[in-house]
Amino acid sequence: MNHRAFVTGLGAALAAPLSTVVLVRPRFAIGAETGTKSPRIGILSPPEPLTTLDVFRRGLRDLGYAEESGTRIEYRLGQDNTFPGLAAELVALKVDILIAVTPPAIRAAQRATATIPIIMVLSGDPVALGLVKSLGQPDGNTTGVATLTYELSPKRLEVFKQCVPKLREIAVLVYPYPEIRAEVLGRMKLASRSLGVRIHPLEVRELVDVGPALNEIQRARLDGVMVEPSPLTSTSMARIVDFAAMNRLPAIDARRQFPERGGRMSYGIDYAEHVRAGIRYVAKILAGSRPADLPIEQPSKFELVINLKTAKALGLTILPSLLLRADQVIE
């Protein structure tokens, strides 16, 4: 059931996955026959968001940069500690543009090159994280799109409370970026007080932290789970969904894949549109624009997705007003 768009708030950012995968796509030289140089595009990303990579591929094809038409796309998929080496590989290949996904990948790309244009995707708040000078004037060789997901966290908490009025003690699974941790938690606590709930931040720095965090939710008898986006929580999404269902806990995430996989609901940016917006910078830069002259784009569309089947299984009644505000209701 599709409904009109629910647009409010802002949003923020990610972290690092678990294993290193290096994918090198076949290189085509069709464009060489015409005498024009085929672009070579490097993508530095965590291995988990494979659907994100599919959106990249389709978006580049829509812009006329398909691999079968001569564009060479070099994929390097890794994690925090492998990004520097993988970024160096892409620089050595002399890619024309380097697309970096998540803040750790962006940092590695910036340290690897000061000349190759870098397009940020899933960048969080790039100013607060020190990735760029400002949104309007990024400066240097980096531009792209900001997610601002943690900026949206208070609104997500509000929507969660509206959907489940009886919530009192809420676990928040969060990746602790040191640059913004205090501000993020401060905003969440301020919002929680106005809503009459108490949040329990549970930091997920590594994959091994997910199990203890879920055990703590069970031990403390918390009555709701809010999942902040990161590659770690994405990798563990099925486990978190199963845990919430087994313990009959309402849960909310920032990504629509959460309710699509059986979770309770999601509220956040339209990630597919976010990636497509990043891809549009490719055409601008290949046409001659300098990254420093291209302002960073902020989210303009936000999605509320509700899994009504899961809500009914938990014995929850969803207000008709929330169903009308939802972009999608899964029945």
Running along the chain, 331 residues long, what does each successive block of 10 average in pLDDT?
35 32 34 56 79 78 83 89 96 96 93 97 88 92 88 89 92 81 83 93 90 95 91 86 94 92 91 87 93 92 90 84 89 86
The residues that bridge with 239 in the sheet, in sequence order, are none
The verdict on 176 and 96 lying in the same domain is no
* pLDDT score at 273: 86
The verdict on 159 and 281 lying in the same domain is no
The verdict on 190 and 325 lying in the same domain is yes
The verdict on 275 and 265 lying in the same domain is no
Strand order through the sheet with 328-330 = 198-203, 169-174, 224-227, 251-253, 265-269, 302-307, 328-330
Q: Measured between alpha carbons, how far apart are the two ends of the chain, in Å? A: 8
* pLDDT score at 301: 81
The verdict on 164 and 52 lying in the same domain is no
The verdict on 72 and 155 lying in the same domain is no
Within-domain flag for 314? yes
* pLDDT score at 240: 95
To which residue do tokens 């913004």 refer? Answer: 180
The verdict on 325 and 241 lying in the same domain is yes
* pLDDT score at 194: 92
* pLDDT score at 48: 63
Calculated CA dihedral for residues 208, 209, 215, 221, nearest 10 degrees: -160
* pLDDT score at 219: 95
The verdict on 93 and 237 lying in the same domain is no
256: domain CATH number?
3.40.50.2300
Domain boundaries, position 228: 149-269+302-330
